[in-house]
Amino acid sequence: MNARETILNSCPLGEPTDPWPAPYFVLPPGSVVEAFKTSLNLLGARTIDENELAGYIGPKTWVEPNAGLEVNALNGFQNQVDLWDAEVGIASTVLAIAQTGSVCVKSGQGNSRLATLAPPINILIVHRNKIVPSLLEALELLPDGNVAFITGASRTADIEGVLVPGIHGPKEVLVCLVGGEH
């Protein structure tokens, strides 16, 4: 018998059972946009306006190709820097979660995973109408493919419990809200 069979034969097949009891989740009241901003605030992530983007564009900025399609300020920008050496990374997101202040990024079609990881400053573009109340909806709408939820900046508290941002990923995460709410 190979390892697969040995292991599987020692595991129970199981009978169908009743669904488990449902836990109740606390949900944000009112506007998901305001709730999202409040959560970001608690995480120390700043929100910026579309017109503030220009201030972050320079020779060491990496802009994801499809971010330019979404935001005029980035349209036509040519990347001059290797992504590994970029100081600012600007990337698009597919949805955001009000309850936790998280964004969901998906790789493919112009989006690279390193764009939200390697540069010390990370700007995430979030459409106001893509903000969902909680993880429940985010998991329901989980896009196909390789995705990640990002909640604030990379951080560690390994040395004597002192919180230090930017151990491996971005030291600073900024969220640029675009579009209308409806």
Name which of residues 76 to 105 contact other proteins (CB under 8 A). 84, 99-100, 102
Nearest distance in Å: CB 176, other proteins = 18
| Residue closer to other proteins, measured from CB, 54 or 85 | 85
Return the number of the residue (52 or 147) whose C-beta is nearest other proteins.
147
Which H or E element spans position 104?
A: strand 102-106
d(CA 49, CA 27): 26
Part of the chain binding other proteins (CB under 8 A), chosen from 54-62, 68-76, 150-158 = 150-158
126 bridge partner residues = 177
**Footprint of other proteins on 160-179 (CB under 8 A):** 160-164, 166-170
Phi, psi for residue 104 in degrees, rounded to 5: -115, 125
103 with 154: CB under 8 angstroms? no
Q: Answer yes or no whether residue 134 interacts with other proteins by CB under 8 A.
A: yes
Instruction: Give alpha helix (H) positions in 99-156.
Output: 135-140
Q: How far apart are CA 114 and CA 118, in angstroms?
A: 5
Q: Which is nearer to other proteins, 43 or 52 (CB)?
A: 43
**Interactions with other proteins, residue window 45-64 (CB under 8 A):** none
